[in-house]
Structure 1
Amino acid sequence: MVLQMESPAPSIKVENWLRGEPLTNFQPGKVYIVEFWATWCGPCVSAMPHLMQLQEKYRDSGLEVVGIAADEDAPTAVEARTKLDAWLTEKCSNLNYRMAFDYTGEMNKLWMEPSFSVAIPTSFVVDRDGHIAFIGLPTELDEVLPKVHNGSWRTSDQAKSADTERIAKNERMAREQALKKPIDDRFWAAVKTEDWKTALSAIEEGIALLPDNLNFRLAHATLVLHKIHDMWTGLPLMHQLVRDAIDRNSEDWMIAALNQLFHPNLDHSRFPSPERFAIGKELSEHVLALNPPQGDSPKFWSYPAVARYYHESGNKNRAIELVELALKSLDGPEPIPDELKEHLLPELLQALANYKDEKVCHGALCAAPQKNFLPKVSKRRP
């Protein structure tokens, strides 16, 4: 049975209630947000302060927020529950809404799978009559909740259109995941044994099926340029990746291409230097136009890659400026999970120390210059 807007809300079947009183059923006259999340999910953690604000703002209007931790990563239910309880105590001691834990998969079967929801965070809004009013991202709740409370949301064309679009998008994602899995399995098995020919065959099959998949495109370029060292084939691949990144006006694609050209973990000695710097200049200018220094958008994802280009091209002051802006954006208006800050801050500080050739500090953390520092490629936001 498909779970969508106007469907009766499924029941809540969980193993434990870690915070707040157990919820046995949805009471008529109340509005509920049922939020699927996990401690390892950065956007989920970022959404928690916002959900707490919504709980406080709409408490007198009958809103109840219910967190569902159904995807904790641990070998056993006991370990997962213990880890979650400790995390809530340390990171979210002032939580003002219910929190449930489920390790059996029952909640995902009742809620996530029937609604074609393939990723977290996912927010379900249950209306006053116990029917689903909205399924989507917690960032959309500010617009949706007032209309749910005044009764105008479910009858609106906007709501119907959004739900139809959501189902179509999630069905596409589910089909893509099903296509990717056997290719991913074959690719990673080949990488483990350094069988680059088989890995390349798997990736080429993946690109034929999903030509717009960035991970496949990156793996293709990495294999050809940095494992097989076939510059004759690799250069056209790199040019096409750059063109597609610019045509899409996608920051993610541009940074991925820049990392192929300038990340210190990769060997660029075979790449024609004038061509590499010309492409780097073009990509960097596009990134800075898309995410300008004076804007409020986060800089910590993209600016380190742009800074590497400027530093290698001899513009040390520009590289320093960009890393300092990236550091500043860690404390910007958009909430950033503590775990993400802890991951990014040492790498940004180390880059700044290397570019300045002096010791630098940010709060209590300091870094001294290192000649052979090889930063990790930071994981992209989901």
Structure 2
Amino acid sequence: MKISSTARVFVCCFVIGTSGIAKGDDRTTPSPVEAKKLVAAKASADDEKTTKQAPKETAPESPKGLTIGSPAPSLDIEHWVGESPSPVSEFEPGKVYVVEFWATWCGPCLYSMPHLAELQSKYADDGLRVVSVSTEDLETVTEFLKRKVSPSILGIKEPAANEDEAEAGEATEETKPITFAELTSAYSLTTDPDESVNADYMKAANQNGIPTAFIVGTDGHIEWIGHPMSMDEPLEAVIHNKWDREPAKEKFEREQKIALAVREIIMAHRTGHHETTLKLLQEHADLFAGTRYESALKSIWFPTALATQQSDIVLEIIQERIAAGPDDAVSINRWAWEIYEAVESGLQNNDKILSTTIDALQSALSSDEFEANDDMWPAYDTMAHLKSIAGDKQSAVEWQRRAIESAPEDEQERLQEYLSELTGTVVTSPEKADAAETETSVPQP
């Protein structure tokens, strides 16, 4: 018997392109990954089935070769929008360019616009040209440019709702509303619906999140690739001929290799290919060492190790989790239920894993830091299942009674069914449960 899925779900969601596994930059992708909610309970027994039934994903492509140090492809852009400077297709020797990719629907792109305008103005005398490229149709971009820019994008604090006109004062030139056409007039805003430039730059460099900027140096080669809000230092160095391309290339290509490996691992994990996931995790362990991905990938290591009978890895991970939060009953309960399901399904060499899990959850539920409340009934239910599978039916009965006492009414009947399994009685209502319990004498745990 298992309680409702809403009380079991615990999902670690990975967003590629927006922020990777751990928090990174704020680039977005055309098809954002929907983040699932986190709840303080157990993983659903149906999660694995759902994963295996998910649509088959296409393996990520390897980088096609555009990297730092590569000659910058020419700009075969269809539409140069507004009153931007004259079109450019070939890069003029001795000048520096920024080729940035954006979209009207991309929030981070809009917040980058004031910064791009600022950089264009700052380095105009040095010959800088900023060219922003969208793949949307001309009408979409043209209509977008008519919109007013929100104060937050401009970094202006909006007056409070109850602030009267006298307090707010007269609008200054700085605070007057402007359109996106006015905001971006300092640099070249373009749209390329056939996506040829996107293919030459973004796809060729294996970039799948926007905004992304490419700095093209004075010799027509790519000097830097990344988020436009992070390019101040490299851009200044390139403009003043102080940029060292080789270290930047090494760093970029390592980051590309890491990103590709992470995407392969996540794809294998999502589609339920546990052996492949384990192989990739082991193969790239050194690559992730010391990066923001190392600890985050533990959430993939854990179910993968359970599914592939890697008991030593499972034990190592749960010991690390216990050490990180020995009194966190909610967190322990999340993975303790996964241990129960794995043991029930035949996890090998599980004695140490099972006893460690039981001790950890029981210790957390009895610690001085723990505050008993009705929201903890899933943890009591977990303890009952763990105790039962460990052969301690008497303690299992008492823990299940505690779960029933603190659970909401719509869960009590289901919990009662498991108690009936433990006691060998048939109970059809809470009233009968009370009567049955009086006939079953079990010591306190």
Shorter-chain TM-score bucket reads: 0.3 to 0.5
Normalising by structure 1, what TM-score? 0.47
Normalising by structure 2, what TM-score? 0.42
Structure scoring higher RCO (CA < 8 A, sep ≥ 6) equals 2
Larger helix proportion, structure 1 or 2? 1
